[in-house]
Chain A
Amino acid sequence: MLLAHKLALASPHITGDMVEVSEFPHLAAKYRVYGVPRTVINEVIQIEGAVPENALVTELMKVEDEATMARLSAELNA
């Protein structure tokens, strides 16, 4: 969780939300949270479990790639 907030502090474009999922059960269903932590970036990049810094940054950079984001979105809605 700390990492998402570090990234938020480091960039004016990034917001980092801690979501205590037991208080928001509808989000647990929406984002298919079966285990924690679960990280969701711009709705479509979804990562299960703890993520090391370099791995999260790799995922994060996908937001700049429109084709990849469109593909992930299509996969999610399939």
Chain B
Amino acid sequence: MPLLDDRVQKQVRTALAALQAPVRLVMFTQGEGGALECAFCGETRQLVEEIAKLSDKIAVDVRDFQGDADLARFYGIDKIPAIVMETAGAPPRDQGIRFYGIPSGYEFSTFIEDLRMVSRGSAGLGAPTQQAVAGITRPVRIQVFVTPT
């Protein structure tokens, strides 16, 4: 049973038609189907895979949070389900974009818009913001808490 119905698939396919550079999604899940399964891991993986099918510019790498603990540490992943969205390539380029929990509802639109942004390689921020951000020298973690609406 797909999560995205025909109508949504069509919309997403159109939204992703203009993707230029390839985007890589690294999804961390855990023990699906077993006793350790996290509540939304299976659904999140399915969603990511369904989205990736709608564009040949999106690659998905599904990893196990415990089995691939070194990679999880590399990306600073501390909970699951987690999705890293990065610029594909050899090597891929981590852009610091993370989704914890399933990106549904309003955040589904964010996810699609992020794919376009990462593919474009430009955030489209205003000049004053770009200038300010260039002055950041310390590690910054911005967490935005949302609910599925």
A15 touches B39 (CB 8 A): no
* Residues 96-116 of B contacting A (Cβ, < 8 Å): 96-104, 106-107, 110, 113-114
Task: Determine whether A28 belongs to the interface, using a CB cutoff of 8 Å to chain B.
Answer: yes
B125 touches A17 (CB 8 A): no
User: What residues on B are CB-neighbors of A8 within 8 Å?
Assistant: 95-97, 142
Using A6-B117, A9-B95 as known contacts, say yes or no to A17 and B142 having CB atoms under 8 A apart: yes
Question: Of B81, B104, B110, which is within 8 A of A5 by CB?
Answer: B110
The chain A residue with its CB closest to the CB of B113 is: A2
A9 touches B145 (CB 8 A): no
* Residues 80-134 of B contacting A (Cβ, < 8 Å): 81, 95-104, 106-107, 110, 113-114, 117-118, 121-126, 128-130, 132-134
Of B39, B118, B135, B143, most buried by chain A (CB within 10 Å of CB) is B143
User: What residues on A are CB-neighbors of B101 within 8 Å?
Assistant: 18-24
* Residues 31-51 of A contacting B (Cβ, < 8 Å): 31, 33, 36-43
Task: Determine whether B140 belongs to the interface, using a CB cutoff of 8 Å to chain A.
Answer: yes
Using A8-B97, A9-B97 as known contacts, say yes or no to A19 and B135 having CB atoms under 8 A apart: no
Compute the total of residue contacts between A and B using a CB distance below 8 Å: 173
Question: Of B102, B110, B129, which is within 8 A of A1 by CB?
Answer: B110
User: What residues on A are CB-neighbors of B123 within 8 Å?
Assistant: 5-7, 9-10
A41 touches B114 (CB 8 A): no
CA A5 to CA B76, docked complex, whole Å = 16
B148 touches A2 (CB 8 A): no
User: What residues on A are CB-neighbors of B132 within 8 Å?
Assistant: 57, 60-61
Question: Of B81, B121, B133, B147, which is within 8 A of A7 by CB?
Answer: B133
CA A40 to CA B130, docked complex, whole Å = 20
Closest Cβ of chain A to B53, distance in Å, is: 22
A28 touches B140 (CB 8 A): no
Question: Of A19, A61, A63, which is within 8 A of B143 by CB?
Answer: A19
CA A19 to CA B117, docked complex, whole Å = 19
Task: Determine whether A27 belongs to the interface, using a CB cutoff of 8 Å to chain B.
Answer: yes
Task: Determine whether A77 belongs to the interface, using a CB cutoff of 8 Å to chain B.
Answer: no
